[in-house]
Structure 1
């Protein structure tokens, strides 16, 4: 499995915490790996980068991925240094858990910019160079909320629906044009990264450990899977939603599995 990552340059956004950080730690010991770590949290990013420099080459940038001009400048710098990524891992993301009428306009804008536009900007900055090279792998972190709406998650769910649609379309474009670029979409339920602190796990859908989803990602990416879904109920949800009447599906999801109450005690990160 880990052979796939040998001698690859891997760009990770949101690399200072959660899935991005743990993924970086796991691949840092692979022979020949170069890590490009992007995050807006300077202290955490520098701490992570300093730790990983003992194992591999590390290039770090304190960067707001919603700033298209900055992303483009960083991409140009890396390309000139022959550091065009072999793998782009879009892990940066945010969530605000509240009823839609409670959102401030800037919270809506920020969620969509970080979770959707930011990931698109990062890929757009490198994709032509990847196409010219004839190889690359883009990994986008979506969510089970892209399959099913949920109270107090309207804007976050909207952003992840967008990620799913973009990833599917991008996959088809790359395949139809024989670019040699793989697209993998990661679709998990809640993960214990701290981002969803306080949520209540639905019936039969346990909160995933960070280590578990990273292990699944390492394996699935190496196999060039189109999607990585976890746990099992995430795979079953779109099937049930497709065959059941909407009102009956809502009754099962809300009354039986408790999906629609999962965010009632949401706290989130304290930063």
Structure 2
């Protein structure tokens, strides 16, 4: 049976590790004694986190990697070598209704949030299975449990991320590989990814803080957990589908499902500066 992966002495690779939740995870893992490998499209951000870890006496390296490029991922994986913990954290959000989002933004969202899971995981999973140990972490979202308005591509990508993790877990268990999987489904995290979101009613659930979420994820990796939903009450969202549609819709409004993103200023997949494969949320 898969067990937790101790972070002390482990090699942890994180995609989108140069900012937001990815940065916090990299710093936290380094404090726990991990050798941290940061993949990010933004060279300056990745290097800044690397240097921050080194300044504190930890070990870290940073590489510019486009996780949507299969060949680039294979090449970078060869440089990184075996890893004990893989954190699929890279993510973008277009934040536009389906008819307003550009073709390029939708394609980018799906490539970063979904296809990259396959390319990056395939690059490292064989080594984990051969060593019969390791953990694959997929940062999904509460939007992977219940769809949200004006984020059709993002929600669909996070549903796919959740399904990817669930199917991968079943596959690894059936093969008795000893490799664990962990899917993380957080509510809104205060990373700036969703700045400008307006909701029909005030949010009843608290905005999560990066440090808090990162700590919980690292604890879950070491404990061998298979799913982490933050806050835990979000686990109930899928069950609400058994209710009449009008009741379900009303509850989604009260819980703060998006009404408009007209003032959205977060990580828009159409903006070049936001193609840095930022934090998962």
State the TM-score, normalized to the length of structure 1. Answer: 0.91
Equivalent residue for 2:21, pick from 19, 22, 27: 19
Indicate how the Cα distance of structure 1 residues 3 and 69 shifts in structure 2: closer, same or farther if over 3 A, else same. Answer: closer
**SS in structure 1 at match of 2:6:** helix
Aligned length: 263
Runs of 5+ unmatched residues, structure 1: none
Indicate how the Cα distance of structure 1 residues 85 and 203 shifts in structure 2: closer, same or farther if over 3 A, else same. Answer: same
**Offset at residue 133 of structure 1 (A):** 1.1
Q: Which residue of 1 aligns with 2:87?
A: 89
Provide the C-alpha distance between the structure 2 equivalents of 1:112 and 1:263, rounded to a whole number of angstroms.
19
**Offset at residue 262 of structure 1 (A):** 6.5
**SS in structure 1 at match of 2:12:** strand
**SS in structure 2 at match of 1:216:** helix
Deviations 1:29-85 (A, max 9, x none): 233x21111000111111111121232222221110001001001112333xxxx11
Q: Which residue of 1 aligns with 2:227?
A: 227
Aligned-pair Cα RMSD in Å: 1.8
Equivalent residue for 1:185, pick from 183, 186, 197: 183
**Offset at residue 218 of structure 1 (A):** 1.7
Provide the C-alpha distance between the structure 2 equivalents of 1:245 and 1:204, rounded to a whole number of angstroms.
22
Deviations 1:110-167 (A, max 9, x none): 0000011112211101111111111110000000111222221000001001001110
Given that 2:141 and 2:185 are in contact with CA atoms closer than 8 Å, whether structure 1 keeps it comes out as yes
- Asked whether 1:111 is paired with 2:112, we answer no
Q: Looking at both structures, which has the greater relative contact order when contacts are Cα pairs under 8 Å and sequence separation is at least 6?
A: 2
Question: 1:1-271 counterparts in 2 under 5 A?
Answer: 4-31=6-33, 33-54=34-55, 55-79=57-81, 84-200=82-198, 203-241=203-241, 243-254=242-253, 256-261=254-259, 263=261, 265-269=263-267, 271=274
Runs of 5+ unmatched residues, structure 2: 268-272, 275-281
